[in-house]
Amino acid sequence: SGDQIIIPCVIHVVYANATENISDAQVQSQIDRLNKDFGATNSDYDNTPSEFQSVRSGDTKLRFEILEIRRFSDSRDTWGTNDAVKYEYPPVEPERVLNMWVADIGGGILGYAQFPGGSLATDGVVMSPQYFGDATATGGSNFYLSAPFDRGRTATHEVGHWLNLRHIWGDGNCSADDFVSDTPVAGNPNYGCPSAGTNSCPSSPGNDMFMNYMDYVDDACMFMFSAGQDNRMQATFANGGGREGFLL
């Protein structure tokens, strides 16, 4: 219920070579992917197993728009996860703009995010260019993307963190929590494309919700948030939630 929340996005494309200077079309395909996934209009939404259909999120009413694409040529090859790229290319109005840096992180890392409540100077999400965009979009075969993380789900996952979502396994064993009650307890990340019925914590109720955007499976095998996760994301827009500036 309620109105849509429009999230303006500034995309900082920081490239060391022409390949990393991804096209406007590739950037747009990523924004389209976010709008589908957060709107529950993704074509794989109905792959959700019956055991989780009653708890999957519908439309989160969050929508993403490109405010500006900024391009920076930089000879640095990889940027790591210590926010160096953000200090070099500072965020634009982070209290009301989602800043995304597309730069080669290196080390096989797909992306990383800052939770609400952190320093504004480093607020936003970072993704390597080969994981930013949707190969299934029109023209997608011309994009610089690397399977099996070529459908734009890294950004869906990172924006989930940016809106306060934890990993589905709570980054710990079967005693660690993700602070969402409708995601069953899981004891470890899942990878690839797991079989139905995978259960990392058999002594707790429910199989792993490995098809959730906040697990580590392949892009083609994640296609839902839960209703509880939607509530947790919405709470960030309330007073004190850290993202209230996006409502002004």
Chain residues in the site for ligand ARG (CB under 6 A): 110-112, 149, 153-154, 157-158, 216-219, 222
Quote the least distance from Cβ 158 to ligand ARG, whole Å. Answer: 6
Quote the least distance from Cβ 1 to Ca ion, whole Å. Answer: 23
The site string for Ca ion over 125-164 (x = CB under 5 A, - otherwise) reads ----------------------------------------
HSE value, Cβ hemisphere, 13 Å, CA-based, for 161:
21
188 is a site residue for Ca ion (CB under 5 A): no
162/246 with CB nearer ligand ARG: 162
Quote the least distance from Cβ 176 to ligand ARG, whole Å. Answer: 15
Around Cβ 159, how many Cβ atoms within 10 Å? 25
Distance of CA 228 to the CA centre of its chain: 17
183 is a site residue for Ca ion (CB under 5 A): yes
66/220 with CB nearer ligand ARG: 220
Distance of CA 40 to the CA centre of its chain: 14
Calpha distance 139→136 (Å, rounded): 8
Catalytic one of 88, 93, 95, 158: 158
178 is a site residue for Ca ion (CB under 5 A): yes
- 93: annotated active-site residue: no
Quote the least distance from Cβ 185 to Ca ion, whole Å. Answer: 6
Q: Indicate which single residue of 40, 62, 135, 180 sits in contact with Ca ion (rule: CB under 5 A).
A: 180
214 is a site residue for Ca ion (CB under 5 A): no
Are the CB atoms for 27 and 133 separated by under 8 Å?
yes
Q: Which does 183 bind (CB under 5 to 8 A by kind): ligand ARG, Ca ion, none?
A: Ca ion
Stretch that binds Ca ion, among 93-101, 130-138, 173-181, 217-225 (CB under 5 A): 173-181
Calpha distance 148→125 (Å, rounded): 20
Stretch that binds Ca ion, among 118-126, 132-140, 171-179, 210-218 (CB under 5 A): 171-179
Neighbouring-strand partners of residue 226: 56
Site for Ca ion in 97-116 (CB under 5 A): none
Quote the least distance from Cβ 160 to Ca ion, whole Å. Answer: 14
Encoding tokens for residue 91? Answer: 């965020």
Q: Which does 134 bind (CB under 5 to 8 A by kind): Ca ion, ligand ARG, none?
A: none
Are the CB atoms for 29 and 35 separated by under 8 Å?
no
Residue positions annotated with a catalytic role = 158
Which residues are at the interface with Ca ion (CB under 5 A)? 178, 180, 183
